[in-house]
Amino acid sequence: MTTTGSSKTQAPGSASAFYPPAAAPRGIGVRHKVLGMSVLLAGVTYLDRVSISTMQDQISRDLGFDLVKMGVVFSTFYVAYAVFEIPTGWWADQIGSRRVLTRIVSWWSAFTILTGAAFSFPSLLGIRFLFGAGEAGAFPNVARTFARWFPLRERGRAQGYFWVGAHLAGGVTPLIVKSLLDLGLHWRQVFVLFGSIGFIWVWAWWRWFRDTPEEHASVSPEELAYIQSGRPPFESHSNSVDDWRRLLANRTAAGLCLMYFTQSFGGAFYVTFLQRYLAQRGLTGTEGAILAGLPLMFSTVADVLGGLTTDGLTKRFGLRIGRCAVGGSALAGAGLFTLAAAFTASPIWAAVLIALGGASSNFLLGASWGTCIDIGLSRAGALSGAMNTSGQVGAILSPILVALVVKHFDNWSAPLYLTGALFLAGATCWLLVDPTKPVSD
């Protein structure tokens, strides 16, 4: 058995785990720069997800798609993402996040560019499937990175800031895309431009990042002692079938997966068909672009506050309350906001309520991904991958079901009823979660 980090670590659920014996070094540490690189990664991955949604009318017009075909295109990406999520998380646990994330973002950049080369429905389906297969595992790899680079007391806020990158990029993308189209760029050219950005990140990441602070020459002895003193040791383990069965049969893992299914179902609606919903209610042009990005813009605040809240409550009351109270209340609020939007006559107020629902659903990200790190330990990549895979199943079903529900009922409020009800169901799943018990117990 081999370990990395402190040999004497407090139990994850105890308050003393949040007060490591080493004081936090002053100033900007290497771990903060790791966080900064991760935030940029999150932003890069959301550029494509939101840009294809923003340009779906132009793509549909040029390639001859209807609403249902576009829904299938969206879902195809999430199908591949879900299939390859756990294997990629496991792969990172074996060879490290530095190499895996370098491959993922290189693949992301290439297939963002290739999306602009699609010439038919089958070609776009093939490109989007391979795109999802290659991008899968990005976020579990970041969770794995945080497990090694951050002490327990900083993990919730680290996850919160990470998601700010994703949601800020997603929130401003509709306006950026509209501006580029207004300047005369074709939708194909927009994909080429966005895809080129990822290669810059890959070059910087490969040159500078290391899988653990112990390997990074720039980490000071004080920062290393601080990280190690607040971090559980990582034990070597086998990868037997029994290990995987124990991981996936864990009650907390099941609760996280069920909860994240509902959260991602709603999240997929915001980045696929929200702009079309707003257009059906008369909100188009710049106004529509701003409101379409509003759920993700509001989420940037929720990401930070959610991360700070889960760490603050954990520091005071322990992991169970610090993670579960935040997660459960966030989804309950998301459900109520979304259902209220469905009953609101004013399209602008409906858009604001939907945005509040989206922000509330993302308030839990620090708690949910933090829990994966808390209990996953050396399996943090695999457990995060399992949770995110369940989320991708929700994301797969969301575009297709939204399109079919709208077509059947001829009413764009119908998806809001479904999404709101799922959020409320997801809130109850947090009753199954116990962040104080590692999956090895």
| Distance (Å, whole) CA 182 – CA 412 | 28
User: What is the structure's pLDDT at 102?
Assistant: 95
Place of tokens 């949040």: 18
Residue 6 predicted with pLDDT over 50: no
Per-residue pLDDT tens over the stretch 206-231: 999 999 999 999 999 999 999 988 77
Domain ranges of the chain: 28-232+242-432
| Distance (Å, whole) CA 159 – CA 167 | 12
Instruction: Determine what percent of the chain is predicted with pLDDT higher than 70.
Output: 89
User: What is the structure's pLDDT at 326?
Assistant: 96
| Distance (Å, whole) CA 441 – CA 439 | 5
Judge whether 392 and 264 are in contact, CB under 8 Å: yes
User: What is the structure's pLDDT at 22?
Assistant: 59
User: What is the structure's pLDDT at 244?
Assistant: 61
| Distance (Å, whole) CA 142 – CA 162 | 9
Judge whether 427 and 295 are in contact, CB under 8 Å: no
What integer best gives the mean pLDDT of the chain?
86
Per-residue pLDDT tens over the stretch 50-71: 899 889 999 999 999 888 888 8
Q: CA of 79: how far to CAs of 37, 132, 205, 289, in Å?
A: 27, 7, 28, 27
pLDDT band of residue 311 (cuts 50, 70, 90) is confident
- Residue 50 CB neighbours (<10 A): 27
User: What is the structure's pLDDT at 368?
Assistant: 92
User: What is the structure's pLDDT at 3?
Assistant: 39
What is the rounded radius of gyration, in angstroms, for the C-alpha atoms of the chain? 21
Residue 196 predicted with pLDDT over 50: yes
For range 251-273, the mean pLDDT:
90
Nearest CA to 264 among 45, 82, 44?
82
Report which of residues 97 and 47 the model is more confident about. Answer: 97
Exposure of 329 by Cβ count < 10 A (0-12 exposed, 13-18 middle, 19+ buried)?
Answer: middle
| Distance (Å, whole) CA 274 – CA 50 | 11
Q: What are the structure tokens assigned to 146, written together?
A: 């945080």
Per-residue pLDDT tens over the stretch 320-375: 999 999 999 999 999 999 999 999 999 999 999 999 999 999 999 989 988 887 88
Question: For the whole model, what pTM was predicted?
Answer: 0.75
User: What is the structure's pLDDT at 232?
Assistant: 67
* 204 Cβ neighbours under 8 A, 6+ residues apart: 37
| Distance (Å, whole) CA 194 – CA 114 | 11
CATH topology of domain 28-232+242-432: Growth Hormone; Chain: A; (1.20.1250)
Reduce the secondary structure of the chain to three states and give it as a string: CCCCCCCCCCCCCCHHHHCCCCCCCCCCCHHHHHHHHHHHHHHHHHHHHHHHHHCHHHHHHHHCCCHHHHHHHHHHHHHHHHHHHHHHHHHHHHHCHHHHHHHHHHHHHHHHHHHCCCCCHHHHHHHHHHHHHHHCCHHHHHHHHHHHHCCHHHHHHHHHHHHHHHHHHHHHHHHHHHHHHHCCCCHHHHHHHHHHHHHHHHHHHHHHCCCCHHHCCCCCHHHHHHHHHCCCCCCCCCCCHHHHHHHHHCHHHHHHHHHHHHHHHHHHHHHHCHHHHHHHCCCCHHHHHHHHHHHHHHHHHHHHHHHHHHHHHHHHHCHHHHHHHHHHHHHHHHHHHHHHHHCCCCHHHHHHHHHHHHHHHHCCHHHHHHHHHHHHHHHHHHHHHHHHHHHHHHHHHHHHHHHHHHHHHCCCCHHHHHHHHHHHHHHHHHHHCCCCCCCCC
Per-residue pLDDT tens over the stretch 109-161: 999 999 999 999 999 999 999 999 998 888 888 988 998 999 878 888 888 89
Most confident segment among 403-407, 416-420, 434-438: 416-420
Least confident of 95-99, 185-189, 251-255, 271-275: 271-275
